[in-house]
Structure 1
Amino acid sequence: MRFRTGIVNVVTFRRIIQTVGKIQKKVVMRLGQSEVRIICNSDEGGVQVWSTIRVLALFEDYRVESKSGNEIALLLDTDALEQVLHSAPGNEEVVMKLAKKNDVCVLNFQIFGNSRMGRRLTVSHDVRTEVLRPGELERLKEPMCPEPDVHTLLPPLGKMRTIAEKLRGITDIVAVHANHSGQFSFSAATESIKVEVEWENLTNPVIGENDPSQEAEERAPVDKQRMFAVLLRTRSLLKFLNAHTVSNTQTIACICNRHCMIFYVYIGEAADSGGVLTFYLPAVLDD
């Protein structure tokens, strides 16, 4: 079993780890031949993250070898990993490899840089890890959700997070609404106050599950004004909105009416992205 790579985009890698670390402190990182998958699936609020990242978006000289189809799955502590990546904020060369020290599996990081005197320096860090067996991976199942009722291309997540922070001071539950006319809203209410923030003229993208070969007259007519809704825990929504540090281009929100919300956070441009972080937020059931 071997794994070694250079990290060419340390900042983005750190931001991804920082984002998923807000959901769960222990995450699974599956190292495949062309993709790296980072999985969070046991948040106490039911939030899950299933991310797929292209190797070339973050790494170079990438090599992974194992008897399990040349795939290795590691259980990692996000705080420890983020701390190591934070120690290499500049243009330093960073090499990450799987190693064993004192019979303990570690991810070893070698950071190469120069001193103020121009001397070549190497700093080494170890992050303890656990290699998961194939049987343990089989128990990891991505959530089964119904087909979304509406998809919306969201405004910048940083601005949405500022609004959600203010709503947290009102209630623990936020109602999210969207329709096929580009309307999207957050609302919060108590017995004495109601606050609603609405965005208009947003884009409703067509996602792959719609069959483009289907004749237009065969498709069910869409009521563009109908609002689809889901109730979310404010805390869960804010955990997702920490992804504003990763997304500077496109994020698509999908509402499965009264069931859940799915968010696709693209790394880079959606048409040629380096990957996507998929967040699943379960609905709070109203009586």
Structure 2
Amino acid sequence: MRFRADIQNNNVFTKLTASLASLGPVAWVKLSNEDVRFTVIPDNGSSVWAKDQIFETYTIQSAAENNTINLEVPLQNLHRALKSAQNASHASIRLTKKNNIPLLSLTITTAIFAGAPKPVAHSAPPDQHGYDPGYPTDDEFGNPFLTDELDEPVYDRPNRETIITQDIPIKVLSPAVVAGLSEPRAREPDVHIQLPPLLQLKSISDRFTKLAVSSMKTPNGSTGFRGNTARAPKLELSANMHGCLRLRLKTDAMDISSKWTGLNNPELDPQTIEGGEEGIAQHPSTRMRTRGDPEGISDEGWAVVRLDGKDWGKVLGIGRVGGRVIACFCDEHALILYVYLTNEDAAGPESVITYYISSYSQ
């Protein structure tokens, strides 16, 4: 079993692991010939499936079917190791073993300046007798001799490289262990819409959640829902096919909402929809587009999901990574977020993180 790869974008990889770590302590990492998949399935809350093109010069060798390797990786340890490589000129990762313990070994190469500029001596030109003194002299007016050209400083020692290796203990999972894990499937979405900047959405969502917690506090100061997700504050998120998104908090004490308009409802690709153009014509989102209005005033044509406020806030932490986010609403059933990460290679495939969030009943 072998695996080795150069890290293509350490900055994105670091932000990705930070976002995943907020949802759970460990990730199932599936390595294959095609891609790398990170999966976090916590006991409670949202599950996340990340298909990322973060590696280059990829080498994998396994006796398992389809040449795959399944690992259980502690996310906090991986994140800390990647943070130490922020200023690295090169970083690579490989699967190894020490004292019979499987490890992910992160090798960081950092260029360190090891010399100081050495003064450049300028010699005076030969005098009228053809004699070259070989050192700076004064000109005929008594001024120090200067050259007309600006020379680059000369370094007396070249730069050197420092190599640091950090080992992250992991578990190698057998195919039988992960056989029952699969990405959740949902019906075709009723509404798909590009979300506003996630950090903006997170700020408002966190504010609503804090208001809900405050309104639910008992006289002794407790909230009364510790460990009971059924009574935790819920946020209602809804959208339509006319570019409108609404975030609402409704409790016994308050009913407040924020609404965005003018958002983009991406066009469906006939090549990805069963039945092509005919399939698009019969798609739930196409039928939903005929309902409601661009201002979102009408109650018609909205798809609604109800989310745990604290869990939703963790999901929105992916906003630190950047990139566009498409939200797919399956009315009263689930919300699926597709986070498309910025790729340095414009011609290369986009990295995608998929969040699956189940909706609570009303």
Shift of 1:218: 6.3
**Quick one: which of 291, 296, 301 aligns to 1:224?**
291
- Provide the rounded CA distance (Å) in 1 between the counterparts of 2:262 and 2:111: 50
Contact 2:88 2:111 in 1 (8 A): no
- Provide the rounded CA distance (Å) in 1 between the counterparts of 2:99 and 2:280: 64
> Which residue of structure 1 lines up, in the alignment, with residue 265 of structure 2?
204
> Which residue of structure 2 lines up, in the alignment, with residue 66 of structure 1?
62
Deviations 1:81-112 (A, max 9, x none): 00000001124211211010011000011111
Shift of 1:273: 4.5
User: Are the structure 2 counterparts of residues 81 and 236 from structure 1 closer, same or farther at C-alpha, using a change threshold of 3 Å?
Assistant: same
Q: Which moved more, 1:148-157 or 1:265-274?
A: 265-274
Aligned CA-pair RMSD: 2.0
> Which residue of structure 2 lines up, in the alignment, with residue 214 of structure 1?
278
2:330 is matched by which residue type in structure 1? C
How many residue pairs end up in the alignment?
Answer: 281
Shift of 1:194: 1.7
Deviations 1:138-157 (A, max 9, x none): 11122132221100111111
User: Are the structure 2 counterparts of residues 154 and 211 from structure 1 closer, same or farther at C-alpha, using a change threshold of 3 Å?
Assistant: farther
Q: Which moved more, 1:120-129 or 1:204-213?
A: 204-213
> Which residue of structure 2 lines up, in the alignment, with residue 253 of structure 1?
327
- Provide the rounded CA distance (Å) in 1 between the counterparts of 2:94 and 2:306: 43
Shift of 1:34: 2.2
Shift of 1:44: 1.6
For structure 2, the 5+ residue unaligned runs are 115-158, 213-232, 293-300
**Quick one: which of 333, 337, 357 aligns to 1:263?**
337
1:29 is matched by which residue type in structure 2? V
Please identify which structure carries the higher strand content: 1
- Provide the rounded CA distance (Å) in 1 between the counterparts of 2:192 and 2:279: 21
> Which residue of structure 2 lines up, in the alignment, with residue 108 of structure 1?
105
TM-score by length of 2: 0.73
User: Are the structure 2 counterparts of residues 217 and 63 from structure 1 closer, same or farther at C-alpha, using a change threshold of 3 Å?
Assistant: closer
The alignment partner of 2:207 has SS state of helix
For structure 1, the 5+ residue unaligned runs are none
Q: Does 1:191 align with 2:252?
A: yes
> Which residue of structure 2 lines up, in the alignment, with residue 277 of structure 1?
353
Contact 2:102 2:170 in 1 (8 A): yes
Deviations 1:218-237 (A, max 9, x none): 67744331111111001121
1:115 is matched by which residue type in structure 2? I
Contact 2:273 2:279 in 1 (8 A): no
> Which residue of structure 2 lines up, in the alignment, with residue 235 of structure 1?
310
> Which residue of structure 2 lines up, in the alignment, with residue 49 of structure 1?
48
**Percent of pairs with identical residues:** 27
Shift of 1:31: 0.9
2:353 is matched by which residue type in structure 1? L
The alignment partner of 2:278 has SS state of coil
Q: Does 1:181 align with 2:242?
A: yes
- Provide the rounded CA distance (Å) in 1 between the counterparts of 2:14 and 2:327: 24
Larger Rg: 2
Q: Which moved more, 1:192-201 or 1:271-280?
A: 271-280
> Which residue of structure 1 lines up, in the alignment, with residue 153 of structure 2?
none
- Provide the rounded CA distance (Å) in 2 between the counterparts of 1:257 and 1:154: 17
Shift of 1:257: 0.8
